[in-house]
Homo-oligomer: A and B are copies of this chain.
């Protein structure tokens, strides 16, 4: 086993888009696991838009990273050495060590064995991981979506959005996706079978485009983008409409004062609209049941996903930038070691 490993740390606080210049590679000695500890080699690390919130040095309701901290991410890894009887060498686990080739854990928090499955390993950090589960619980618990309702999903070609859109289709809803660019919209329409796909970059008036696609109004907005889209959609919400605040990818890179302010709040009263955010770890106890249901949909060909995989921990900062620039679509992952 190598005696050192690499990780990506925050090198300077970020304004605007984060990219390679904001991070540095560090080489660290592989630690010796102590009592109850588990040493994990990372196979995959995720790129999560929400991670941007912690890179500015500002306290933004959650603690920011300090300079020199490893950038946060979810991972799939394999146990190298275990002093914890619940885990054995060779076990595959989901965990959250960040952009790093190795991690040391006592097994608490988001650290769990991956059950044997005939699905690709990467699904456990994608469609069956945090983004897919966010879609599942956002629709089922937060929105309480019902067959026959009309759903609008923003950032619909991202992993959260595409999963939410497909689950809503499976549940019998009419689904309109909003995404940037014709390629993503074609995928939403032709491959995922959505009822409509709107290219927000090409729309003169997004509100009117959504009005044309959903002439009977919108029952649920599943928003991954942020305030501007929420404000645009509010006047289109139906009575008892729900807005799921899943993510704010359009706002994470903005200084607080540059974020769009939501004005169309009269609708909360006139149409009894409810807006609610979620962090999926509140549903941790229900993850296995949700994953089983989603795995069955994947095997039946009803739940598709796309991945863009980068190789090498040093690629993480560029991959993070590409994700915000919308260069590719689907789940962005970095592969740090070959699958076993």
Q: State the interface size on chain A (CB cutoff 8 A).
A: 38
Contacts of A248 in B (CB 8 A): 265-266, 269
Q: Are B245 and A265 in contact (CB under 8 A)?
A: yes
A residues 207-264 touching B (CB-CB < 8 Å): 226-227, 230-231, 235, 245-248, 251, 256-257, 259-263
A78 at the interface (CB under 8 A from B): no
CB distance from A150 to the nearest CB of B (A): 18
From B62, B261, B277, A268 is in contact (CB under 8 Å) with B277
Contact of A261 among B247, B263, B274, B276 (CB under 8 A): B263
Residues of B within 8 A of A227 (CB): 261-263, 265
What would be 29 A-B contacts, judged by CB atoms less than 8 Å apart?
A60-B266, A60-B270, A61-B266, A61-B270, A61-B271, A227-B261, A227-B265, A231-B261, A245-B265, A246-B269, A247-B269, A257-B263, A259-B263, A259-B265, A260-B261, A260-B263, A262-B263, A262-B265, A267-B277, A268-B275, A269-B277, A269-B278, A270-B279, A271-B277, A272-B276, A272-B282, A273-B276, A273-B277, A274-B274
Residue A53 at the chain B interface, CB threshold 8 Å: yes
The reply to whether A279 and B272 contact each other, CB–CB distance below 8 Å, is yes
Please name all residues of chain B whose beta carbon is closer than 8 Å to the beta carbon of A261 when the two chains form the complex: 227, 231, 260-263
Residue interface mask A268-307, B partner, CB < 8 A = 1:
1111111111110010000000000000000000000000
